[in-house]
Each structure stands twice: as C-alpha cells, then as structure tokens.
Amino acid sequence: MTGLAAGFFSVDFINAFSGTKNMSNQPRVAKVLAALLVSMTTGAIVLMALANDPPSAGPFCLSSYYRLNSVERAIRSLAAQSPSRWNCIEIYYSATRAGNIQQLASLSGLAGPEDINCHFVVCNGLGGGDGQIQSTEKWQRQWSIIPGRTWYGTGQTVRICVIADGKAAHPTDFQRKRAEALVEVLCRKFDIQPDCIYYPGDWQ
C-alpha cells in the first residue's frame, strides 16, 4: 500500500470512528435536554404557585423590618416635647411571653391601657407585630412614670417595655433592633447620655 493510499485509509477510518462515537452520544444528549426541560418546567410551576403565597422569612428579614413604622413616627406625641424633658432611658422585660398595651394593662389589673406604667411597648409578634413599637398614653401626654414597689426611677426616665420574660421567651431580633433604634432616636432628640441608658442584664 502506498503512502498516499495509507493516508486516505487513515482519514476514512478516523471519520468513520468519529461518526460512530457521535451517534452513540446522541441518546445521552437527548436525555440531558429532556431532563433540563422537565426541571425548568417544574421550577416555573413552583414559582407561579408561590407567587401568591411566598415562603415565610427566616429569623430576620430586612424587607419585613423596613415595613414597620419608622421610629421617628413612633415617638411623636400629642403633647409638646421639651428638649430637656427626659434624661434617662430604662429598657425592661414584661415578664410575659406575649402581649401588647391592652393585654399588659389587663394582666396588671389596671382600669384601662391608658394606666400602663411605661412609655413604649415593643411587641414580639404575639399580640402585636414583631418589632412593632406602641406608644402609651403617658408618652402621648409626656407624663412621668409613677414610682411603685418595683420601680423607683425619676420623673425624667423613659421606660420601654419589651415583650419577653427573659427565660423561655427572649427578645426577638426585630425587638432588639427596634428597641436599640428607639433608644438611639430618643438620645438624639433629648440629648440623653450613654451612661444613662439601662438594659436588662442579659440583653446582649
């Protein structure tokens, strides 16, 4: 066999082998394409099904957080606010697993929610929205907290009640962030110094 003939033979052999190999891969390619089409169709169906019922957020969701009313709006009051009216802030737990202003007043045996002895309540999702800040009648009228057997603060102390018992029910991420944001705005508005802010012992 001459060298030229041998060269043609080699090219023809390679082409034949390659053609056979390409033909053998066709069923695999078809399977891959079919699987891809099925997965894309399934994904589209799932997304459409979730469009009106999205999955619940995790422990902290920025989109849910920013849907809450602004802290600046929460501290508005009916009575005028004097820059020197408040000089101290105390954050404490409600000693309950759930609640809002009305429920706390009822549990305390008060005549109505206007008698609750704090300025703000930060809810945990059980009784009020998680991170929701409720202002009380005392804040709306810029009244001082009434000292009692469990509290001996001054007439210039802002009291913030966080719904939690500090044991089985700890503050949520929303509550912590919202309470701290509330403290920051109050400090800026009334020039309250950092050493006049008191958190529960296990806050951090």
The pLDDT of residue 69 is 79
Low-confidence ranges of the chain (pLDDT < 50): 1-21, 44, 46-60
Cα–Cα separations (whole angstroms), residue 3 to 6, 12, 74: 5, 14, 94
The pLDDT of residue 81 is 97
The pLDDT of residue 150 is 78
The pLDDT of residue 87 is 97
As a whole number of angstroms, the distance between CA 27 and CA 137 comes to 75
As a whole number of angstroms, the distance between CA 81 and CA 106 comes to 29
Look up the domain containing 179 and give its range.
Answer: 62-198
Overall number of domains in the chain: 2
Name the residue with tokens 């994904």.
Answer: 43
Residue 203 lies in a domain: no
As a whole number of angstroms, the distance between CA 103 and CA 169 comes to 17
Q: Are residues 194 and 150 in the same domain?
A: yes
**DSSP state for residue 52 in the 8-state scheme:** T
Q: Report pLDDT digits (tens) over 34-71.
A: 766 666 665 545 444 434 443 333 444 555 555 677 99
